[in-house]
Amino acid sequence: MAKFDYPSEHSLVSNIDFLSPDLFIGREVELSVLKQVLHGKKADLLSDDEKAIFNEKYGGIVQSVAHSKWVIQGDKGIGKSALAIEYITKFREEYDLIWWIPCSIEGSIVEGLRQLCQRLTEKEPENSGDSFPRELNTYLSEQNRWLLIYDGLNDQKLTKYLPSEINGHCLLTSTFFEWTDFGNVMPLSSISEKHAAELVRNFIKEEDSDLVNRFTKLLNRNPLGIRQAIDYTLLNEYKLKDYLESQIKGNIDYSL
């Protein structure tokens, strides 16, 4: 089987230079689920408690056979992209090619695929703009150690930009919740109380655990919500207590 044509000093062809910082927290269960559903390997790195959560939350979707395309589905800001980046960081050695395709608008998908085509074949795609480039289909069907991440693909119609034959892996992140035709969906929910508190304490020194827990609960333990509230708090030189009191009084003005 032909290998990707990459410079000899690199083992990976990729457009990603933002590997996950040390600040990524938790999601061990989800990372194991992803590893298992994509590679069909056992989630043997989990503790007994995590295994229980794994079975309870994801037992239904983890089958013995690996599938090559998955959607990480969840609310805005819940941490879908962060999880995908952490997955890449952890498991990049499983791949020869990792390509990140931003999908917020159709044009960015087309551009992402055009750049991939250029990188692999040194040519522009012939059929760019309405489907997955033919040249890439040919190229990728001969390989299997590749991963394409379609980040923020919230419109099911845009799956026309996925390769027709998937010998490698496709990972989508999406807020869309009715993936009826697509099949493999991994739902992502809020982070745990413990991890939410850890996220807060990475930025704010606060000893009072009860206060921290009330703060993250108010924000539904949504990482984006927590990050925004932390930024607001720091910017205004607030303490968490002030933030909670302001929320209760309803006088937070986010336009500041």
Binding site for ligand ATP (CB under 6 A): 23-27, 74, 76-82, 152, 173, 175, 191, 199, 223-224, 227
Q: What's the min distance (Å) between Cβ of 206 and ligand ATP?
A: 17
DSSP state letters, 78-137: SSHHHHHHHHHHHHGGG-SEEEEEE-SSHHHHHHHHHHHHHHHHSS--TTTTTSS-HHHH
Q: What's the min distance (Å) between Cβ of 83 and ligand ATP?
A: 7
In total, the chain counts a number of residues equal to 256
- With respect to ligand ATP, which residue has the nearer C-beta, 42 or 76? 76
- With respect to ligand ATP, which residue has the nearer C-beta, 117 or 158? 158
d(CA 17, CA 20): 10
Q: Would you state the structure tokens that stand for residue 139, as one six-digit string?
A: 């190229």
Q: Would you state the structure tokens that stand for residue 104, as one six-digit string?
A: 């917020």
Residue from the set 20, 81, 89, 247 that interacts with Mg ion by CB under 5 A? 81
Residue 168 contact among ligand ATP, Mg ion, none, beta carbon within 5 to 8 Å by kind: none
d(CA 53, CA 75): 20
Q: Would you state the structure tokens that stand for residue 172, as one six-digit string?
A: 């989508």
CA-based Rg of the chain, rounded to a whole angstrom?
A: 20
The CB-nearest residue to Mg ion is 81
- With respect to ligand ATP, which residue has the nearer C-beta, 140 or 153? 153
- With respect to ligand ATP, which residue has the nearer C-beta, 25 or 62? 25
Residue 25 contact among ligand ATP, Mg ion, none, beta carbon within 5 to 8 Å by kind: ligand ATP
Binding site for Mg ion (CB under 5 A): 80-81
